[in-house]
Amino acid sequence: MTDSTPSQSASVSPQSPSGNLRMPMVAEVIDRIQESDRIFTLRLRLRNPEQRRNYRFAPGQFNMLYLHGVGEVAISVASDPDEPEILGHTVRAIGRVTEAMNRLDVGSQIGLRGPYGQSWPLLQAEGADVLVVTGGIGCAPTVGVINYVLMRRQRYGRLTIIQGVKHAQDLIWRERYDYWRTFPNTQVLVAADHGGPLWPFHVGPVTEVFDDAAIDSEGTTVMMCGPEGMMIAGTRDLIERGVPEQRIYLSMERNMQCAVGHCGHCQFGSQFLCRQGPIFKYSDIKPLLGMEGF
């Protein structure tokens, strides 16, 4: 009974309808890129000029995309926040809604509400090194971060991008990695658990390539996204190398339905992923991270 002020039924103030937050806006698919068999990028543009002008997001935040008659799905915005009129969403066709979205053509209209959630700590990271560690397929939530740092290269120190995949053929955006490599003070390291005859990069878990990255343990902000097992192993390794816990940020994923902290599905202990996350400081989620069932 500590700080839960008892609500006097007579004193509840009329709330303005939260419709703006909960109502989808109409967006048009202006471009569609097939990244791999099951991964595609939709570039979306809000139809209503006023909504388009007012829309702002920060890398790491997500939108709820709605396919008519099928349902909604939470997808992070992968494009540049300084071009908020075109919103890139990279999607893996894995469930009912995303499978159906895979069949969308240019010109199709879908619903979009957002942005929701916390973003990557790009302002706090200014002036220091940035290490982006991603695992699994694509890991779109960090593409926005990488592009953001590359476009504002002078504001940050060394940028290291480490991408790990299970199988060599899971690597998408190979050209992008090659392109990112061309920027000054930028290092790109790629690893696959299982390489192949023509795999030019490291074979083994991502943590093994940490040795090749000159990580300044005191002055690096880490942004990590991928399967939880990989993030746990990566975090453990980085902490051993002296990176402070509070400079390691992880992007978490859970079932999201309302995106405003009401529906309860995305709870991770006491945190609502859609509100306090999906980007978390490692120290904030450490106790339950890796605990089965949470």
Strands 87-92 and 39-46: antiparallel
CA distances from 124 to 92, 220, 236, 249, 282 (A): 30, 11, 22, 12, 15
Shortest distance in whole angstroms from residue 64 CB to other proteins: 9
State which residue, 174 or 262, has the beta carbon closest to other proteins: 262
Instruction: Give residue 115's region: left, alpha or beta (phi > 0; psi -120 to 50).
Output: beta
In the chain the beta strands, taken as DSSP E runs, fall at: 25-34, 39-46, 62-67, 71-76, 87-92, 109-116, 129-135, 159-167, 186-194, 202-203, 220-225, 248-251, 267-268, 271-272, 279-281
Shortest distance in whole angstroms from residue 285 CB to other proteins: 12
State which residue, 56 or 262, has the beta carbon closest to other proteins: 262
Q: Do residues 221 and 130 touch, judged by C-beta distance below 8 A?
A: yes
State which residue, 6 or 184, has the beta carbon closest to other proteins: 6
State which residue, 52 or 155, has the beta carbon closest to other proteins: 52
Shortest distance in whole angstroms from residue 256 CB to other proteins: 8
Tokens (6 digits) for 254? 């859970």
State which residue, 227 or 244, has the beta carbon closest to other proteins: 227
Residue 63 burial (10 A CB sphere; 0-12, 13-18, 19+): buried
Chain position carrying tokens 């595609």:
40
Shortest distance in whole angstroms from residue 252 CB to other proteins: 11
Shortest distance in whole angstroms from residue 274 CB to other proteins: 10
Question: Which spans of this chain sit near other proteins (rule: CB under 8 A)?
Answer: 1-12, 14-19, 21-26, 66, 68-72, 92, 94-95, 107-111, 253-255, 257-258, 260-265, 267, 269-270, 272, 275, 287-288, 291-294
Question: How does DSSP classify residue 217?
Answer: T
Q: Would you give the end-to-end CA distance of the chain in angstroms?
A: 26
State which residue, 128 or 263, has the beta carbon closest to other proteins: 263
Shortest distance in whole angstroms from residue 272 CB to other proteins: 8
Shortest distance in whole angstroms from residue 283 CB to other proteins: 15
Shortest distance in whole angstroms from residue 294 CB to other proteins: 7
Q: Do residues 36 and 172 touch, judged by C-beta distance below 8 A?
A: yes
State which residue, 214 or 288, has the beta carbon closest to other proteins: 288
C-alpha span between 55 and 53 (Å, rounded): 6
C-alpha span between 278 and 273 (Å, rounded): 5
Question: How does DSSP classify residue 3?
Answer: S
State which residue, 12 or 198, has the beta carbon closest to other proteins: 12
